[in-house]
Amino acid sequence: MSHSGRNALRAAKRVVVKIGTNALTHATGRFNREHFEALGRDLLWAAQGRELVVVSSGAIALGVERLGLAARPRDIPGKQACAAVGQSRLMQAYEDVFGGQGQAVAQVLLTHEDMRDRRRYLNVKHTLERLLSARVVPVINENDTVSVDELKFGDNDTLAGLVAGVVEADALVLLSDVDGLHTADPRRDASAKLLETVEEVTPEVLSLAGGTSSGVGTGGMATKVRAASSAAEQGIRSVITSGAEPGRLRAVLGGEQVGTLFEPTGARRGSRAAWIAHALRPQGTLRVDAGARDAIVQGKRSLLPSGVRSVEGDFDRGDPVDLADESGEVFARGLASYDAQELRRIAGRRTSDIESVLGYRYLDEAVHRDDLAVL
């Protein structure tokens, strides 16, 4: 039990709240307006004296309802059409709840491309900062209408974890239809016990989350745990709890013992390091020797070609790559100074050999320390 962690939630001044589809709908998948209004009152309460960011699902469910469909479409164009119809209705629902109390809200729709492109990432960050400074509540959703597989976050849990890092939140609250992480799926095993606190997300913790999935939304318990883990690595406390019961958000931010608390495991990163570590998807892996690993982790040094043992994947210069030690454990992520074919040719070579091997030299480093983030 972590009393200090719970007390820290009471002092949180900037909070990201993710609301899952299952927290907004009936068991049939239809939008639950009565419950949404109750949840909206909790959000309004949370916005008093705090800076609040909401990451909200629900657009597709509202689109299904408006179009009179019997079930959520399985094909991508069908889902995108429902999102296009439902997103405006979702924002209207938030406007009805917040606007009636004089609280301004703003719609922000994102794709993964907005996060992996550095200039767009910074634009998102600056826009959100300006909205928060104006006491506006941003309501963020993935731009499902235009997203394609390679540009999708995949689920709003992942998006919420990224957003928490972008705005440097004090706390992330993930509301769903289950009351935290259990020793087993509580909907299938009556003996399942709630884990009140997770100090570190280990493979064993992730295995506990593997069997719990959501019926209407796209994210299961595993995605929530990964989002909490991502936030923890950025120095942010997270709580997974049920959004199906009114008052849970107040309880979390009041320091009460509800849901599962994930304690921070890392320090706050600078904006660029956070972007590299959490917003980018690696396109390949560089296996490095023990000396290179120590130089990067302990000495905060660049990765030189001499430390590269092997190159996996096909990537271009400037693409994100994982750095793994000789056992295969990934310990850092960075931007490659050369493409995969070039790195294969200079791997294990001295810096002075680069030009003679390639016929040119961009940089002395395979990955420069300014483009590295230790994980």
Which residues does the annotation place in the binding site for ATP? 18, 176-177, 218-224
Binding residues: 18, 57, 144, 156, 176-177, 218-224
Tell how strand 308-313 and strand 284-288 pair up: antiparallel
Helices of type H across 20-111: 33-47, 59-66, 76-99
Residue with tokens 């849901």: 259
- CA 358, 362, 367 angle in degrees (round to 5)? 105
DSSP codes, 162-227: HHHHHTT-SEEEEEESS-S-BSS-TTT-TT--B--EESS--HHHHHHHTT---SSSS--HHHHHHH
Per DSSP, the three-state class of 110 is: strand
Angstrom distance (rounded) from CA 231 to CA 243:
20
Asked if 340 and 313 touch (Cβ cutoff 8 Å), the reply is yes
Binding residues for substrate: 57, 144, 156
Q: List strands edge to edge, sheet with 284-288.
A: 308-313, 284-288, 320-324, 330-335, 372-374
- CA 193, 187, 181 angle in degrees (round to 5)? 40
List the beta bridge partners of residue 240. Answer: 174, 260
